[in-house]
Amino acid sequence: MVREYEHTKTVSVFRYDPSIRDEGHFDTFEIQIADKRLTTILDVLLKIQKEQDPTLSFRFACRVSMCGSCALVINGKERLACKTVVGDLKEKEITIRPLNHFPIIKDLVVDMDPFFEKYKEAMPYFDPKEDTEEPAVIKPDSKERRDIGLSTECIACGCCVSSCSMVNYHDAYCGPAAINRAFTLLADSRDGLNEQRMSKVLDSCYNCRTELNCTDVCPKEISPTRAIKYIQKQACIEAFRKKEKTPTQEDIRSDAKIPADVEDNSRRRFLKQMTYGLGAATAAVVGGVLASAAVGPTLRKTPKQWIHAGEMEGFPLNRVSTANIQYTNLDGFYKSKKTTPIMIYRKPDINQSVVYSSRCTHLGCTVRWDEGKQIFLCACHGGAFNSDGSVKDGPPPRPLDRYAFKIQDGALFVEVV
């Protein structure tokens, strides 16, 4: 019966028994689902728990995606079990697995302590800038509130940390959720711990590889990546602020619990100097290269030199023959010994003879003489030149280059630059 088939689902659930201490395995259950649109994964788990295997453990609390207790990897993506309905999943089967990067207590239940430890590193708590009793007057369309938006609605479910492929490679990385919270506080004008918090999370931010996995999985549609980029940008802006404010007496907080970070100023100065330094270096390099390319050729001091290419007897009449010339080339600071093939087409009249460069005028490959076809051929892109050096075929833009030459004492000399 088709109907019944539609309503049966195969569910694989990760199992781990802490008293056996094995690697864990998947158990498969067949369950009946009345309506795919109205059945959440949490319902599926509760159903398995109730009807098939009472020893199955999983965590849940509010069932309306407000507490973030039931985050699981469902069909290869981090999701909240209470927010995902079976109809949302494209795959035929359902695979349920605990979150990555957290120790597993039992079955689908993970130990969230590492999450909160990392979370705490980002100083994710408000500390009022000034002691006041009246709530601050802040317009809802002010820049800070528009920046913060709904990012404060994080429910600390751990989906982002599980989806991030960087968190477990970098011990110092406090993870997307923590940085997101730090961002909402950094952007909040009421908060007084900006300096310390910035210096704590900035390092973490550079562990982000802009994979945007966290943004992709967040069940509250918050983008921790945006938060990370915001903090990096903020750090740059602050580093460039013209007048560095020296902390006044009021700015130095006497809260013994949160020691003022002494590194902070030096870090900022370092960042600033580095930015200036790197900027200058890049400008110098780029500028240097461009300048030398533009004016370099006119400044070339390399003297022209006549190089011995061989005895004239070695070059038969009315034929193209090849010879190698050796000379010392001075190109900029770089002195090199060069061996270059040249091609000599000897005619009876010495003045009609030609010495060609073997460099193809297209991209500089070496051309060879094809005796049968009576043409010069370039192997790279199929360029062909006639025996007078003009382009016969292919991409070369101009005829073959020629060398000036002279004959002295029956020997051929070519002029190189």
Partner 1 sequence: MEQRTILEHRKPLQWGEQDPNRLKNTPVGMWAWLWQRISALAIIFFLALHLTLTYKPIIQFLLLMSVTFHAVLGLRVILLDFNIINVKYQKALIAGLGATGILMIAIIWTGIY
Partner 2 sequence: MEKLSTDILIIGMGGAAQLAALNAYDANPDLNILIVTKALRGKGGCSRMVQGGFNVVLNQNDSHQKHFADTLKGGQFINNQELARIMVEQATPTIKEMETKYGCFFDRNPDGTIHQKPFAGQSFDRTVHKGDLTGIEIISRTTEQIMKRNIPVLEEHRALELLTDNTGKQVTGALILDMKCGEFKVVESAATLVATGGGPTHYRFFAPGPEKSLDGLGMLYRAGVRMVDMEMLQFHPTGLIVPGSVVAGSLLEEGLRGAGAHLLNSEGERYMKRYDPEKKERATRDVVSRSSFLEMAAGRGYDHGGVHIIASHLGPEFVEKNFPGMCLRCRIFGYDLARKPVPVSPTAHYLMGGAVFDANCQTSLERLFVAGEDSGGVHGANRLGGNGIADSCVFGRLAGKAMAEYLKKNGDKKAETSIGLAEELKARYTEPFNRKDGISPYPLRDQLRELNWNKVGVARNETDLNDGIREIDAISDETKSVGIDGIKAYNLPWNNFIDLLNMIEVSRMVASSALLRKETRGAHFREDYPDQDDQNGLINFFQERGKDGVPVFEQKPVDLKYLKPVDVKKQ
Residue 14 contact partner, candidates partner 2, partner 1, none, CB within 5 to 8 A by sort of partner:
partner 1
DSSP label at 252? S
Q: Which is nearer to partner 2, 34 or 317 (CB)?
A: 34
Angle between helices 176-186 and 194-205 (to 10 degrees): 150
The one-letter amino acid at 247? P
Window 367 to 396, contacts with partner 1 (CB under 8 A): 379-381, 395
Shortest Å, Cβ 116 to partner 1: 15
Q: How far is CA 333 from CA 291, 301, 328, 329, in A?
A: 15, 11, 13, 10
Interface mask (CB under 8 A) for partner 2, residues 175-194, using x and -? Answer: ------x---x--x-xx---
Query: What phi and psi values does residue 10 have, to the nearest 5 degrees?
Result: -95, 125
Q: Which two tokens stand for residue 63?
A: 């069932």
* Burial class of residue 187 (count of CB atoms within 10 Å of its CB; 0-12, 13-18, 19+): buried
23 binds partner 1 (CB under 8 A): yes
Can you tell me the distance from the alpha carbon of 405 to that of 109, in angstroms, rounded to the nearest whole number? 86
**Which of 30, 35, 311, 401 contacts partner 2 by CB under 8 A?**
35
**Which of 145, 229, 267, 368 contacts partner 1 by CB under 8 A?**
229
Q: Which two tokens stand for residue 120?
A: 């705490």
65 binds partner 2 (CB under 8 A): yes
Residue 55, CB half-sphere, CA atoms under 13 Å: how many? 8
Window 347 to 366, contacts with partner 1 (CB under 8 A): 363, 365
DSSP label at 359? B
34 binds partner 2 (CB under 8 A): yes
Tokens 């009807």 sit on residue:
51
Q: Which two tokens stand for residue 116?
A: 């909160």
3 state SS of 128: strand
Residue 133 contact partner, candidates partner 1, partner 2, none, CB within 5 to 8 A by sort of partner:
partner 2
Strands (E), 90-173: 94-97, 104-106, 109-110
The one-letter amino acid at 415? E
Q: Which is nearer to partner 1, 147 or 191 (CB)?
A: 147
Which spans in 49-140 are helix H?
A: 113-121
**Which of 21, 90, 92, 139 contacts partner 2 by CB under 8 A?**
139
The one-letter amino acid at 74? I
Those residues with Cβ within 8 angstroms of residue 335's Cβ, 6 or more apart along the chain or in another chain:
328, 329
Window 198 to 217, contacts with partner 2 (CB under 8 A): none
384 binds partner 2 (CB under 8 A): no
Window 80 to 99, contacts with partner 1 (CB under 8 A): 91, 95, 97-99
Can you tell me the distance from the alpha carbon of 46 to that of 54, in angstroms, rounded to the nearest whole number? 9
**Which of 3, 21, 37, 335 contacts partner 2 by CB under 8 A?**
37
339 binds partner 1 (CB under 8 A): no
Shortest Å, Cβ 119 to partner 1: 16
* Burial class of residue 398 (count of CB atoms within 10 Å of its CB; 0-12, 13-18, 19+): exposed
Q: How far is CA 313 from CA 190, 266, 309, 356, 412, in A?
A: 93, 76, 12, 18, 10
- Which of 46-54, 59-67, 70-78, 238-246 is the region at the interface with partner 1 (rule: CB under 8 A)? 70-78
254 binds partner 2 (CB under 8 A): no
CB atoms within 10 A of CB 96: 22
- Which of 61-69, 94-102, 205-213, 371-379 is the region at the interface with partner 2 (rule: CB under 8 A)? 61-69
Interface mask (CB under 8 A) for partner 1, residues 189-218, using x and -? Answer: --------------------xxxxx-xxx-
Q: Which is nearer to partner 2, 135 or 372 (CB)?
A: 135
Q: Which is nearer to partner 2, 62 or 281 (CB)?
A: 62
259 binds partner 2 (CB under 8 A): no
**Which of 143, 146, 233, 269 contacts partner 1 by CB under 8 A?**
233
**Which of 6, 8, 18, 373 contacts partner 1 by CB under 8 A?**
18
List interacting residues with partner 1 (CB under 8 A). 14, 16, 18-19, 21, 23-24, 26, 73, 75-77, 91, 95, 97-105, 110-111, 162-165, 168, 209-213, 215-217, 223, 225-226, 229-230, 232-233, 363, 365, 379-381, 395
